[in-house]
Amino acid sequence: MQSRERIDKRLTNGFALGVIWLAAIATVGALGTILLYVIVNGIGQLTPAFILTWPHGVNMEGGIWPTIQATLYVTALAMLITTPIAVLAAVYLAEYAVQGRLVSTIRFAADSLASVPSIVMGLFGLALFVEGIGMGFSVIAAALALSFLLLPIIVRTTEEAIRAVPKYIRWGSYGLGASKWQTVSRIVLPSAMPRITTGVILAAGRAAGETAVVIYTMGTMINAPLLPLDPGRTMPVHLMLMAQEGINMPAAYGTALLLVLMVLGFNLTARYIGRRNRRMQG
């Protein structure tokens, strides 16, 4: 009887582990299918002309340069606005905060912001920045709306980065007579910087891929924005419109591929920084 139990145990174990392997394979497979499909169909579009020229003609033939510029501009502006605030907020939560109602409220608010559906954020941007304050469809309105979306993400990763700095380093600093801010600014933050940078770059990747927020705050007009008040159409918005119109599918595939490459670029850069940091820390 005992050996029967042992065989049953082993059979279930083998079967279950097989199922688990299948799950992992399905996950990787899903990623592979999506990437492969986008690459295979879009690669033909990736000529310098596509990247650097403007769309023209009946169905946006030509290139998609203005959308690339719009995407980079709004992403950069959003990161510029949100990073200082988020990092300092994380410093507060990690270094100064004491458990209490205020901190609980802040955390609840941050978690809520993180799970806001992006279309709600888009309507919020429309209500407050575009119409309320009167910025109109503009890069700055989109960047401000995006920064609310990105804030909790960067706060979370920065906080984790700060907490990962070992305590004994701080004690050493205090032991030398440093004040709290001196310790934070000269010891803790520099030490956590690679992780913080990783988090920021990943958040930038998220910002670049946002559609629902941008479409209600930056508009859909093809334009290469120069000033923050200019409207524009970003790559994800362009992809959505191209796919919906359905007439110039090659351009849609090309845009999809470029977008995926951009996000992949952000992802790989963040990963590279993280790996280099880990290697340096030994």
Partner 1 sequence: MSDSHDPRTGEPIPEMCADDKATMAAPNPPSDSGLSTISKATYFKEAALKNLFLVCACVAVAGVGLIFLFVGLKGWPIFAKVGIGEFLTGAKWYPTKGFFGILPLIVNSLLAMAGALVLGAPLAIGTAVFLSEVASPKVRELVRPAVELLAGIPSVVYGFFGLVLLRPIIAQLFGGLGFGLFTVWLILAVMILPTIAALTEDALRSVPEGIREASYAMGATKWQTIWRVLLPAAKIGIIDAIILGMGRAIGETMAVVMVAGNARVIPDGIFKPFLTLTTVIVMDMPYASGDHRTALFGVAIILFIISMLFVASIRVISRFGKGMS
Partner 2 sequence: MIRRSTVCLAVAIAAVCLPGLSGCAKADVASQTSLTVTGSTTVLPIAEVAAEDFQAANPGKRVLVAGVGSSAGIESVANGTSDIGTSSRDLKPEEKSLGLIDTKIALDAIAVIVNPSNPVSGLTKAQVSDIFQGKITNWKQVGGPDLEIGLVNRDEASGTREAFSKFVLGTSDFDPTAAVLPGTGQVRSVVAQAAGAVGYISLGFVDSTVKALAVDGIPADEKTVADGTYPLWRTLHFFTKGEPKGLVRAYIDFVLSDKIQNTVVRDAGFLPITEGGK
Say which entry of partner 2, partner 1, none residue 219 contacts (CB below 5 to 8 A, set by partner kind): partner 2
Alpha helices in the chain (DSSP H): 2-42, 48-52, 65-91, 101-114, 118-125, 139-163, 167-175, 180-183, 189-208, 212-217, 235-245, 249-281
Q: Which part of the chain contacts partner 1 (CB under 8 A), choosing from 60-68, 134-142, 171-179, 223-231?
A: 171-179
How is residue 110 written in tokens?
């941050």
In terms of Cα–Cα distance, which of 156, 155, 132 is closest to 145? 132
Q: Which of 6, 9, 186, 271 is in the footprint of partner 2 by CB under 8 A?
A: 186
Q: Determine, following the binding rule CB under 8 A, whether residue 179 of this chain makes contact with partner 2.
A: no
Q: What is residue 117's three-state secondary structure?
A: coil
Q: Determine, following the binding rule CB under 8 A, whether residue 261 of this chain makes contact with partner 1.
A: no
Q: Which of 1, 98, 227, 280 is in the footprint of partner 2 by CB under 8 A?
A: 227
Q: Determine, following the binding rule CB under 8 A, whether residue 195 of this chain makes contact with partner 1.
A: yes
How near is the Cβ of 176 to partner 1 at its closest, in Å?
10
Q: Determine, following the binding rule CB under 8 A, whether residue 43 of this chain makes contact with partner 1.
A: no
Q: Determine, following the binding rule CB under 8 A, whether residue 81 of this chain makes contact with partner 2.
A: yes
Q: Which of 247, 268, 272, 278 is in the footprint of partner 2 by CB under 8 A?
A: 247
Say which entry of partner 1, partner 2, none residue 276 contacts (CB below 5 to 8 A, set by partner kind): none
Contact 236, 259 (CB under 8 A): yes
Q: Determine, following the binding rule CB under 8 A, whether residue 49 of this chain makes contact with partner 2.
A: no
Q: Determine, following the binding rule CB under 8 A, whether residue 245 of this chain makes contact with partner 1.
A: no
Say which entry of partner 1, partner 2, none residue 227 contacts (CB below 5 to 8 A, set by partner kind): partner 2
Contact 160, 118 (CB under 8 A): no
Q: Which of 46, 51, 72, 178 is in the footprint of partner 1 by CB under 8 A?
A: 178
DSSP lists the bridge partners of residue 8 as: none
Helices 249-281, 65-91: crossing angle, 10 deg rounding: 30
The one-letter amino acid at 234: T
Say which entry of partner 1, partner 2, none residue 48 contacts (CB below 5 to 8 A, set by partner kind): none
Residues 79-98 interacting with partner 1 (rule: CB under 8 A): 84-86, 88-89, 91-98
Rg of the chain on CA atoms, in Å: 24
Contact 257, 175 (CB under 8 A): no
Residues 6+ apart with CB under 8 A from 108: none
Residues 6+ apart with CB under 8 A from 42: 253, 254, 255, 256, 257, 258
Q: Which of 138, 197, 211, 248 is in the footprint of partner 1 by CB under 8 A?
A: 211
CA pair distance 77, 74, nearest whole angstrom: 5
How near is the Cβ of 53 to partner 1 at its closest, in Å?
22
Q: Which of 48, 100, 177, 246 is in the footprint of partner 2 by CB under 8 A?
A: 246
- Residue numbers at the binding site for partner 2 (CB under 8 A): 56-59, 77, 80-81, 83-84, 87-88, 135, 138, 140, 185-186, 189-190, 219-223, 227-229, 243-249
